[in-house]
Amino acid sequence: MCYYERVVFVACGHEDKRLVQHCHFARNDPNHQCFGAWNYRRQWVEHETECDSCTRQRRQLKAHDSAVCMSLDRTDSPMGSQ
């Protein structure tokens, strides 16, 4: 039986399931496949933290927005004044 941990992210509403320990069969299988049952070993709730995918998406949007603002600043400046 493989063991997982379950994390609930309240800030974004997502859940994450992470592998804690492979069972005997999965450890000995070349592809770590488990054909048996699995169980949650730990569960907890993160109230103020978002999941990894939401954090990554927020960073990409923030980087894109700052790049757009920088390009707008360059186009707004007059070319003739030096």
Taking only the tens place, the pLDDT of each residue in 20-79 is 999 998 999 999 888 888 899 999 999 999 999 999 999 998 887 776 666 656 655 555
Please list the helix, strand and coil fractions of the chain in percent, rounded to the nearest 5, in that order: 35, 30, 35
46 in any annotated domain: yes
d(CA 52, CA 61): 14
Residues paired with residue 8 on neighbouring β-strands, in sequence order: 15, 45
Total number of domains in the chain: 1
54 in any annotated domain: yes
Beta strands 2-9 and 14-21 are antiparallel
User: In terms of residues, how long is the chain?
Assistant: 82
Domain residues for 60? 2-71
Please name the residues in contact with 58: beta carbons below 8 A apart, sequence gap of 6 or more.
50
Output the pLDDT for position 14: 94
Output the pLDDT for position 78: 55
40 in any annotated domain: yes
Output the pLDDT for position 18: 92
10 in any annotated domain: yes
14 in any annotated domain: yes
64 in any annotated domain: yes
Confirm whether pTM is higher than 0.75: no
